Structure 1
Amino acid sequence: MAESLFARVSRLLSARVEDNVDAMERANSDGVMRESIREVDRTIDAVRADRERAMTRRLQAARQQEMIARKVEELTGKARFAIENGRDDLAEAALARQVDLEGQSTGLTDVQSVAREEEAKLEESLAALRARKTQMQEALAAFDIARSDASMGGDGGFAQACKIERNVEQAEAAFDRAMAGAGGVGFARGNAKALNGVAELDTLQKSATVSARLAALKQAATQAT
């Protein structure tokens, strides 16, 4: 099974930069760190792509919601026209469709909310990964300086050259914020009787809403005459 994106981010942020530094010292090679930096880059690209997909879902949901709002307004006019022409049955059909569309609009609001939260988490993951990349690049630069110094007979040593402040705690804290609430939530299944009861209540509520709107339109039409 492919490693999930958040698990990949977690692994990269939880890894110690110091471990890569030790590996470079032992092998006298920067290959380990360079490959780690390339992996961070690949993960940044993946996180950015996921963030863009979440943004696209949010914007599409917002556009659909705008279309529904226009359709709902149009259906109100159609229902009013039907009442004025003595076709309460057609007015009721228009209002029933209106209620259905409003339900879809509510669902689209939920889609936007979830997508917005996902965007925020991914943005925080990006910030944490960029901070980790900077730490790695600084350690790599210090290693290269120390190795160059050693080849020229200098005695500064790698430990001295590596005195670069690393904000590991800050990066991990940013990741923790990005991952907060990212886990799935399990919902218990209801029994058939309860589910059927809820469905019946939904039907009754819809009928009551349609009846109330029909009565209001008829009253408005009567007062206008």
Structure 2
Amino acid sequence: MSESLAARVGRIVSGGLNALVDAVEGQAPEAVMEQAIREIDSVIADARLELGGVSANLHLATRRHAEESNKLESLREKAEIAIESGRDDLATAAIEESLSIEDQVPVLAERMSDLRMQSEKIEGYIRALQSKKREMRSELKAFRTSRAAAASPGVDGAAAGVVNQAERENAAEQATSAFDRVLERQTGLSGVGATDGKRAAALDELDNLAHENRVQARLAALKAQRQG
């Protein structure tokens, strides 16, 4: 697993929206928050891509280990048959090949263990990023609620609720640009636009489902512990 991914995840998880919003003071804070959440989606996508590579390598190593183990067993059987038939020359050839495979099998086993550890670590990073994303969404929701509560009830509703679209787009564009500069300086990430809506929604639904399952599993474990 690349060190860059570990560093990026660490900086994002240890950071917070407030620091980024303060760093781009004067820009649209809501746009900054939304961009921060999109950046987490980008890193999650990178982590999943790397996890896919690790999983593929683990599959290949596991298959190779199984093949070599089966070949080793076959050679042992053939060596016994050769000895029973008085063909020590064939038995010797089988033994030599067996020794060669026996030297490789532990290396393959170690490789499999390393890849499993990498896979578990990346999966942990993805869970941490998903938790951070939920936290940021909660902060964004709280910000929107506080902003709505702070709106003056005496102001004309239409005037208070309608903002010039060009000004809104310009403010969001400036905030995104400023956010990209701050984020790249603090985390090494560069800005990425919005991801495909349907795909992002599907991944969010999967993330939420996985989180709910973890919560229910922990709850069941606590209940079982109390009953025991």
Shared fold (TM-score greater than 0.5)?
Answer: yes
Determine whether 1:137 maps to 2:109: no
Residue 79 of structure 2 contacts residue 94 of structure 2 at CA under 8 Å; is this kept in 1?
Answer: yes
Aligned to 2:215: none
Which letter maps to 1:59?
H
Aligned to 2:4: 4
Residue 80 of structure 1 contacts residue 91 of structure 1 at CA under 8 Å; is this kept in 2?
Answer: yes
Residue 17 of structure 2 contacts residue 36 of structure 2 at CA under 8 Å; is this kept in 1?
Answer: no
Which letter maps to 1:41?
D
SS at the partner of 1:96?
helix
RMSD value, Cα:
2.4
Partner Cα distance (1:55, 1:104) in 2: 21
Quote how far apart the aligned CAs of 1:47 are: 1.1
Partner Cα distance (2:28, 2:50) in 1: 37
Partner Cα distance (2:151, 2:98) in 1: 78
Quote how far apart the aligned CAs of 1:25 are: 7.0
Aligned to 1:93: 93
Residue 24 of structure 1 contacts residue 30 of structure 1 at CA under 8 Å; is this kept in 2?
Answer: no
Partner Cα distance (2:31, 2:83) in 1: 78
Residue-pair matches, total = 153
Residue 23 of structure 1 contacts residue 32 of structure 1 at CA under 8 Å; is this kept in 2?
Answer: no
Partner Cα distance (1:46, 1:11) in 2: 15
Residue 47 of structure 2 contacts residue 126 of structure 2 at CA under 8 Å; is this kept in 1?
Answer: yes
Aligned to 1:118: 118
Determine whether 1:149 maps to 2:160: no
Which letter maps to 2:120?
A
Residue 51 of structure 1 contacts residue 122 of structure 1 at CA under 8 Å; is this kept in 2?
Answer: yes
Larger Rg: 1
Partner Cα distance (1:71, 1:90) in 2: 16
Which letter maps to 2:118?
E
Quote how far apart the aligned CAs of 1:23 are: 5.4
Residue 21 of structure 1 contacts residue 139 of structure 1 at CA under 8 Å; is this kept in 2?
Answer: no
Partner Cα distance (2:51, 2:153) in 1: 49
SS at the partner of 2:29?
coil
Partner Cα distance (1:41, 1:28) in 2: 21
Which letter maps to 1:55?
S
Written as runs of structure 1 = structure 2, the 5 A alignment for 1:35-114 is 35-114=35-114
SS at the partner of 2:55?
helix
Cα 1:153/1:22, change in 2 over 3 Å: farther
Written as runs of structure 1 = structure 2, the 5 A alignment for 1:159-178 is none
Which letter maps to 1:98?
S
1:63-101 CA-partner distances (Å, limit 9, x unpaired): 222211211111112212222333212211111101111
Cα 1:3/1:71, change in 2 over 3 Å: closer
Partner Cα distance (1:153, 1:99) in 2: 85
Cα 1:48/1:65, change in 2 over 3 Å: same
SS at the partner of 1:30?
helix
Which letter maps to 1:57?
N
Partner Cα distance (1:143, 1:20) in 2: 14
1:21-80 CA-partner distances (Å, limit 9, x unpaired): 445774343111111111111111111222232223223222222211211111112212
Residue 65 of structure 1 contacts residue 108 of structure 1 at CA under 8 Å; is this kept in 2?
Answer: yes
Identity %: 36
Partner Cα distance (2:24, 2:142) in 1: 11
Which letter maps to 2:65?
Q
Residue 24 of structure 1 contacts residue 33 of structure 1 at CA under 8 Å; is this kept in 2?
Answer: no
